[in-house]
Amino acid sequence: MIFFIIRRLFMTVFLLLVVSLVTFAIFFLVPRLAGQTAYQLAAQYVGKNPIPSEIKTVETKLGLNAPIWLQYGRYIKGIILGTHYNAGPDVSYCPFPCFGYSFRNQQPVWPQLISDAPVTISLAIGAGVLWLIGGVAIGVLSALRKGSFFDRFSMGMALAGVSLPIFFTGLLALTLFSYKWQIFPNVHFVSFTANPVQWAKNLVLPWIVLAFQYAALYARITRAGMLETMGEDYIRTARAKGLPERRVIVKHGLRSTLTPIVTIFGMDLGLLLGGAILTETVFSMQGLGYFTFLAIQNQDLPEIMGVVLLASFFIIIANLVVDILYTIIDPRVRI
Amino acid sequence: MAVPIDVTTGPGGPPDAGATSSGRSIEGRSLGQIAWLRLRRDKVAIGGGVIVVILILVAIIGPHVVANPDVYHSNLVDPTVLRPTGSFGGISIAHPLGVEPQTGRDVLARIVVGTQYSLLIAFLATALSVIIGTFFGIIAGYFGGWVDAVIARTMDVFLAFPLLLFALALANVIPYSAFGLSGNTLKIAVMVFVIGFFAWPYLGRIIRGQTLSLREREFVDAARSLGARGPYILFRELLPNLVAPILVYATLLIPANILFEAALDYLGVGLYVPTPTWGQMLSIAVTNQYWQIDPWYMIMPGLAIFITVMAFNLFGDGLRDALDPKTR
Amino acid sequence: MKRRGTIATATAAALAALVVTACSSGGTSSTTGTGSSGNNTSANFFNKGLTQVMNPSTHKGGTVTYESHAAPDSFDGGNTYYAWVLNFSRLYEMAMFTYKSCPGQCGLTLVPRLATDMGTASADGKTWTFHIQSGVKYENGSTVTASDVKYAIERTYDRSVMANGPTYYQAILTDPTYPGPYKDKSPNKMGLTAIDVPNATTLVFHLQAAFPDLPYVLAFPSTAPVPPASDTGANYQLHPLATGPYKFQTYQLNKQLTLVPNTAWSASTDPQAKQLASKIVMNLNVNQANVDNLLLTNQAQVDAAGVGVGPAAQAKIETNSTYKANAVNPINGFARFVYIDTKVAPFTNLHCREAVEYAANKTTLQDAWGGPIAGGQIASTVNPPNIIGFSKFDLYNALSQPNGDVSDAKTQLQQCGQPNGFSTTMGYRNDNPQETAAATALQASLQQVGIKLTLKGFAGGTYYTSFCGDPAYVHSHSLGLCAGGWGADWPDGYGFLDELSNGNAIASTGNTNIEELNDSVINNLFAKANTETGAARTAIWAQVDHQIMADAGILPEVYQKSLIYVPTSATNVFVQTYYGMLDYLAIGASSGS
């Protein structure tokens, strides 16, 4: 088990390097391939009203004319060892992990990410709990009551759920519940430490909208998995042995259905933690997703790179956790 | 963004010869025939299929038939409030789905032209995913060993990428003209690349799994004992048996790609103005707050996306059920 | 599969929900607004705030809440260029000069704030002497000295740290290559030779050439004093040392700012400002729809961005007389137009440019910007009406034929040798939805005379540095037209027109004379203006405006207007005519302590 985890940790570091390489390529290599000059690239690293000499200085400081591999090396070194940047009277040091310095906001990127993370985490985890429990429960019930009205209706809604874009359902929800009927007026993020009740209240709408889409998917998967499992011989054996039905369903049926669900849940949660861009933009919650959206609008490259790396990190860690959980849930899986 | 492909179940291999009817000489039915029979009985899937065909027709013929989507009709818009003057978003004989707030452009025309772009990008991206995914999936599944290990690891790497973020970033860095293309052509190429290229592992994993189970079957041994070599086995024996899952998952990948493309448009990195796309219409509805003063303008593209995606999902579901003897 | 038969049911349910939404919120509902409930003693009416004070009150205490859909470029006075921040920063920083806090035209008057008077210029106009008040204190009790003002100005020279503000000092004062105090080797960091500080209350400015508008430049918050020992460079924006009636209590970057009264401030040194509310809170990056809702339901007092409500709230206000009585519709001083580059073919020919002027459909452009109320007035001149020196003229029938003058356009096309039109490319900012809509509208209207526009969108952040503001790029990509807009840095014609049309304003990056006019008539008029004063000087601006239009260098679209809603919980509200938005120095809360 230990070796497994160590091996996976190495893999994690490797994956992060690859992601950083691809990110770097997107922001520094692709524009050059597409015809942008180093000067034009440098112009995206300065403030809003720069003078030409300033752009030239930045171009030199960032070494945009150096060979690509050298630039990448410097970039990685900056993340790990930290960089110094000029903030005025003193030179400030931005320690590990130094995701860079945003020239637009004149603040280092990492603290901004940290302050936005709670929003996304609240959104993702809350919705995750909702959709996992809801989706699996509905899927199980549908499978058990196969062919009934409940089954047909819930599968119908599930199909609708995966067919509607989330920014559309979000808008509908806002129109009806926030503006028309004023049940949730002024949806915006309130920190949990500041006011837990308001925190939860303001998150209800985004949670439901987000969970609706995923629950639909999970219900379908659970149902299909349960149907397949419940038809297996060992279920019949368990029933023949006289076990209570609930035990048969949960302990025997659900257990093996859960493995693919755990995998997908891990991946989905990891993705969401990196920023639920669509949900956050619709509900104007300032989490990592909204941060990404604004950064892209402002063409603030250091911020975009920082958040992409962070998002990839979440996904990779989520996959690692899922793999570990896999070995616990499914004894057939040998490490 | 989750790809709504149900990863668990998949069609099995070629079934045994099917049942016979009364009296006639007993002949086995091929997989295709059995599947077709099952599909024909599934009314809802057929419904979905019909809608898909209609959409494709609309995409091909529609733009030539409807009005010009770029013409302004400021006389149909109330100047102070910028809402269409007619009711229900300005529905009339001339404008069956109403007009756009502020500009007065015909909504039906914009939706029809949007269909063209949505389907084009989704199909192309799916094709890209299918080609890459099938290729690597088959090779990984058949050859096993280190080839499989490398490809499987590569797929893991791809799955570690935050897809939407990369798509946003990439679509943003590409300037107006690059690599010999420019304007909308370049944008379409970039979007197809981004959507198709980063999503191939979803298909690749499935194909790999299928290949792994197929290669143990007798017909592969038989072919090998006849002297067939790798490429022949791969492309003449295995591939035809993979057509079924490829088809099913391609059909289920298309609606995911439509949603993804709509999301990119919504976030502002889609095609250039004034090109009408569904996601862009929704985006305009949001940024200009039209959804509060003229909800019909938001509902039309939302419905268009919904119906299209639903139709593909229904058809894909039906296809999968028809091809898989176990899921009923 | 039978289960999927209920798809129809589910779809029907979804459709029903949609129809409910649409039917109920699509119509014009004249609900009674929460307008006049409250402690408001005088009645408001539409546009009262243009000429009078709305909800006048002397009530002290309470919280004034500002909401903004964006974040500031910086709250540091030396590093900002946003109009609303220039307005808002006066609450915590005292610059040398400010605009009078009164409704109507009187708001265009410059008055001394930290300075004691309007300053004295030498005979040749190249040396100016200013005195500052002696009793002004920072929030920590220490006294403001003239060298603090010099230091504040010096900071703006280091563009690597202070990158956002205007660059007037470098252009006007001697010693333009001063590297900024962070690289300054002299003791006390007073190395800028362009400003002398003979004693603690006197400043002497040395100019490259006579510049009568210098006091206007000193109204920028970059002259708000900064003690060198407290300067933290890029982090100073987190807590600038206050000299105004309020000081920073907490600031979460780009999220929320809280101001509380500055006990070291004294009203006798600062008659323009008031210290009414006991707390000022500003929430940043709030969805515009939320901002509007908060205002309409009296939960917040001011939309800080000052450019008015969004389209949905606009519809509500327009159709509800109670809301409308609390609304005000000023010209915000921003003009939107399209530059027609005189150096890009075929616009090298005057008649081709005039064809564009005639053909453009001003009504659809106005609609693109938001219609006649929230968008703007159709413009026929470069100067907007709230500029001193504005004169109304219409060379291209923009006002008489707002839907475009196709026949005259075609005549001009004949004369420039392109009777069937031509093709060209237009640059615009694709992250600005209205500018995008305007570009699209222009494309549609020019299409009618055969001019085919290819639209090229660029991100707003680099638009002026790398694309439309980079003449090399413009030429190599044949951008014949570029979308643009301009707000005056100060309300006289110079502030508006110089950067737009002076031949010597053409720069290789960040260019604002995008039409690349180098007309000696215009250049000479500007030179002459620096030697004139008073009415003679004012008259020159109209002439410059007229010449720009005669050269067809700029296609004016609208003089922007904003539809601003004033909740009854806000007191002493009026439009400050220079800023084109509410005067933030005056606003108080109607209740609370």
B79-109 burial code (b ≥16 CB/10 A, e <16): bbbbbbeeebbbbeeebebbbbbbbbbbbbb
Residue C5 and residue B43: Cβ atoms within 8 Å?
yes
Strands C423-429 and C479-487: parallel
A231 CB near a chain C CB, below 8 Å? no
Q: Can you tell me which residue has the tokens 């407290």?
A: C230
Q: How far apart are CA C365 and CA C305, in angstroms?
A: 23
8 A C-beta contact, residue A275 and residue A307: yes
Residue A311 and residue B314: Cβ atoms within 8 Å?
no
Q: How confident is the model at residue A255 (pLDDT cuts 50, 70, 90)?
A: confident
* Among the ranges given (A40-54, A97-111, A199-213, C20-34), the one the predictor scored with the smallest mean pLDDT: C20-34
Nearest chain A alpha carbon to C254: A105
- Of the candidates A26, A175, A217, the beta carbon closest to that of B169 is on A26
Higher pLDDT, C245 or B106: C245
Measured in angstroms, the CA of C226 and the nearest CA of chain B are apart by 39
The whole-number pLDDT of residue A155 equals: 86
Q: Is the pLDDT of residue A192 over 80?
A: yes
Bridge partners, C205 (sequence order): C128, C195
Q: How far is CA A107 from CA A23, A41, A58, C229, C256, in A?
A: 21, 20, 16, 21, 16
The whole-number pLDDT of residue C3 equals: 39
The whole-number pLDDT of residue A226 equals: 84
Q: How far apart are CA B295 and CA C23, in angstroms?
A: 8
**Which stretches of chain A are assigned E, i.e. beta strand?**
83-86, 91-94, 101-102, 107-108
HSE, side-chain direction, 13 A CA sphere, residue C225: 27
C9 CB near a chain A CB, below 8 Å? yes
The whole-number pLDDT of residue C10 equals: 47
- Of the candidates C8, C253, C462, the beta carbon closest to that of A43 is on C462
Q: Which residues in chain C have Cβ-Cβ distances shorter than 8 Å to B84? A: none
Q: Average pLDDT of C456-465?
A: 78
Q: How far apart are CA A61 and CA A79, in angstroms?
A: 16
Q: Which of A171-180, A217-226, A284-293, C197-206 has the highest mean pLDDT?
A: C197-206
* Among the ranges given (A215-229, A299-313, B188-202, B308-322), the one the predictor scored with the smallest mean pLDDT: A299-313
Q: Which residues in chain C have Cβ-Cβ distances shorter than 8 Å to B91? A: none
8 A C-beta contact, residue B122 and residue B270: no
Chosen from B39, B78, B82 to mutate, greatest number of chain C CBs within 10 A = B82
Residue B303 and residue C18: Cβ atoms within 8 Å?
yes
Q: Which of B69-83, C9-23, C278-292 has the highest mean pLDDT?
A: C278-292
A120-179 confidence digits (pLDDT tens): 999 999 999 999 999 999 998 888 888 888 888 888 888 888 888 888 888 888 878 877
The whole-number pLDDT of residue C206 equals: 95
| Residue A174 backbone zone (phi > 0: left; psi -120 to 50: alpha; other: beta) | alpha
Neighbours of C423 (CB within 10 A): 13
CB-based burial label for B190 (10 Å; 0-12, 13-18, 19+): buried
- Angle at Cα C431 formed by Cα C427 and Cα C434, nearest 5°? 80
Nearest chain B alpha carbon to C436: B273
Which chains have 3+ CB pairs within 8 A of C? A, B
A141 CB near a chain B CB, below 8 Å? no
Q: Average pLDDT of C42-68?
A: 89
**Which stretches of C63-176 are assigned E, i.e. beta strand?**
63-67, 97-99, 110-112, 120-121, 127-131
- Please name the residues in contact with C141: beta carbons below 8 A apart, sequence gap of 6 or more: C264
Higher pLDDT, A210 or A233: A210
Q: Is the pLDDT of residue C15 over 70?
A: no
C562-572 burial code (b ≥16 CB/10 A, e <16): bbbbbbbbbbb
Q: Which of A267-281, C410-424, C498-512 has the highest mean pLDDT?
A: C410-424
HSE, side-chain direction, 13 A CA sphere, residue A333: 15
Q: How far apart are CA A166 and CA A173, in angstroms?
A: 10
Neighbours of A1 (CB within 10 A): 9
Q: How far apart are CA C482 and CA C487, in angstroms?
A: 17
Q: How confident is the model at residue C33 (pLDDT cuts 50, 70, 90)?
A: very low
User: Would you tell me which residues 172-211 of chain B have a C-beta closer than 8 angstroms to some C-beta of chain A?
Assistant: 172-175, 177-179
- Of the candidates B9, B266, B295, the beta carbon closest to that of A228 is on B9
C295-337 confidence digits (pLDDT tens): 998 889 999 999 888 878 888 898 889 999 999 999 988 899 9
3-state SS, one letter per residue, for A244-279: CHHHHHHHHHHHHHHHHHHHHHHHHHHHHHCCCHHH
Higher pLDDT, A277 or A35: A277
User: Would you tell me which residues 287-346 of chain C have a C-beta closer than 8 angstroms to some C-beta of chain B?
Assistant: 288-289, 310-315, 318-319
| Residue B102 backbone zone (phi > 0: left; psi -120 to 50: alpha; other: beta) | left
Strands C554-561 and C376-378: antiparallel
C559-587 confidence digits (pLDDT tens): 999 999 999 999 999 999 999 999 999 99
Q: What is the ipTM of this complex?
A: 0.80
Q: Can you tell me which residue has the tokens 């112009």?
A: A43
When the pLDDT of each residue in chain A is averaged and rounded to a whole number, the result is: 81
B292-301 confidence digits (pLDDT tens): 778 888 888 8
The whole-number pLDDT of residue C530 equals: 81
The whole-number pLDDT of residue B2 equals: 43
- Please name the residues in contact with C408: beta carbons below 8 A apart, sequence gap of 6 or more: C358, C396, C397
Q: How far is CA C333 from CA B187, B304, C362, C489, C542, in A?
A: 37, 42, 19, 10, 16
Bridge partners, C99 (sequence order): C110
User: Would you tell me which residues 265-294 of chain A have a C-beta closer than 8 angstroms to some C-beta of chain B?
Assistant: 267-268, 271, 274-275, 277-278, 281-282, 292-293
8 A C-beta contact, residue A222 and residue A139: yes
Residue A188 and residue C286: Cβ atoms within 8 Å?
yes
Q: How far apart are CA A25 and CA B266, in angstroms?
A: 25
Q: Average pLDDT of C398-416?
A: 92
Q: How far is CA A245 from CA A1, A133, A248, A256, A279, in A?
A: 34, 20, 5, 16, 40
The whole-number pLDDT of residue B25 equals: 58
Higher pLDDT, A112 or A263: A112
8 A C-beta contact, residue A225 and residue A142: no
Low-confidence ranges of chain B (pLDDT < 50): 1-23, 327-328
The whole-number pLDDT of residue B8 equals: 37
The whole-number pLDDT of residue C166 equals: 83
Q: How confident is the model at residue A187 (pLDDT cuts 50, 70, 90)?
A: confident
A163 CB near a chain B CB, below 8 Å? yes
Which chains have 3+ CB pairs within 8 A of A? B, C
Residue A277 and residue B310: Cβ atoms within 8 Å?
no
B125-168 confidence digits (pLDDT tens): 999 999 999 989 888 888 878 888 888 888 877 877 777 887 87
Residue B289 and residue C441: Cβ atoms within 8 Å?
no
Residue B172 and residue A299: Cβ atoms within 8 Å?
yes
DSSP string, B292-305: HH-HHHHHHHHHHH
| Residue A182 backbone zone (phi > 0: left; psi -120 to 50: alpha; other: beta) | left
The whole-number pLDDT of residue B29 equals: 64
The whole-number pLDDT of residue B21 equals: 43
Taking alpha carbons only, the member of C279, C299, C281 closest to residue C290 is C299
Strand ranges of the sheet holding C479-487, from the earlier edge strand across to the other edge = C376-378, C554-561, C331-340, C479-487, C423-429, C452-458
Taking alpha carbons only, the member of C480, C366, C360 closest to residue C425 is C480
Q: How far apart are CA B134 and CA A2, in angstroms?
A: 35
Q: How confident is the model at residue A333 (pLDDT cuts 50, 70, 90)?
A: low
8 A C-beta contact, residue C39 and residue C571: no
8 A C-beta contact, residue C141 and residue C264: yes
Residue C235 and residue A149: Cβ atoms within 8 Å?
no
The whole-number pLDDT of residue A225 equals: 83
Q: Average pLDDT of C83-103?
A: 95
Q: Is the pLDDT of residue C17 over 90?
A: no
Q: Which residues in chain A have Cβ-Cβ distances shorter than 8 Å to B310? A: 159-160, 163
Q: Is the pLDDT of residue C490 over 50?
A: yes
